[in-house]
Amino acid sequence: MRLLPRDRNLRVLTICAMTAAGMVGAAYAAVPLYDLFCRVTGYGGTTQVAQYDSGQIIDRTVTVRFDASMARGMPWTFEPLQRAMDVKVGETVLAFYRATNTSDRPVTGVATYNVTPFKVAPYFSKLECFCFTEQTLQPGESMDMPVLFFVDPLMDGEDNLDDVRTITLSYTFWEAGRERERTMASAEAR
């Protein structure tokens, strides 16, 4: 059976519309799907989220350094309250970061994070964290934000991690709503 030219045009239009809708849907799903992928695999320095502490502390110590940065235009100051800590592998540790809104308006921010070296990320487990949770600060307001974490003792069984003596936990604060813009701009640059 042959399609009439009008039917062919309608078919092409339908295919184009469905493709465009699929691409828009994929763009909106990309950020949460990528985040899920990174959390599951530890890819790109994404740490694990744990429900319970390790239950075992071993006789190996690593230095955990804390780093803080902000996206361009974010009107806050943001810093770790401790620069580094020596941590026994398996030990549950509490660290704090402080954010202060330096603007004359309320600002809502959201933090992303990573761990370096990337190869240790699957063994860096957070029990409590302020990342991916919107934080609103009023003008001049400061907030101390906790990070409760441990380095998984299973790390000690990995030969490729024997050289790891220092782990850096980095957070970057973005103004809420601009996170998606940053992700899309990053994707377009590739």
| 94-113 per-position pLDDT tens digit | 999 999 999 999 999 999 88
Query: Would you state the pLDDT for residue 177?
Result: 74
Q: What is the CATH number of the domain that holds 74?
A: 2.60.370.10
Residue 36 in any domain: the answer is no
Looking at the structure of the chain, the number of domains it has is 1
Would residue 72 count as lying in a domain? yes
* Predicted local distance difference test score (pLDDT) of residue 178: 57
The pLDDT assigned to 171 comes to 94
CA distances, 156 to each of 102, 123, 134, 162 (Å)? 43, 10, 35, 7
pLDDT (0 to 100) of residue 5: 67
Question: What is the predicted pLDDT for the residue at 7?
Answer: 73
**2 lies in a domain?**
no
pLDDT lower than 70: segments of the chain: 1-5, 22, 24-55, 178-190
CA distance 26 to 158: 36
Helix extents (H) in 2-76: 5-41
- Give the model's pLDDT for residue 153: 92
**What pLDDT is recorded for position 16?**
74
Query: What was the pLDDT predicted at 127?
Result: 87
Is 172 contained in some domain? yes
Range of the structural domain that residue 95 is part of? 42-189
The confidence score (pLDDT) of residue 183 equals 46
Question: Is 119 among the domain residues?
Answer: yes
* CA separation, residue 120 to residues 33, 46, 53, 164 (Å): 22, 9, 17, 8
Sheet holding 107-116, edge to edge: 84-88, 61-70, 166-175, 107-116, 135-137
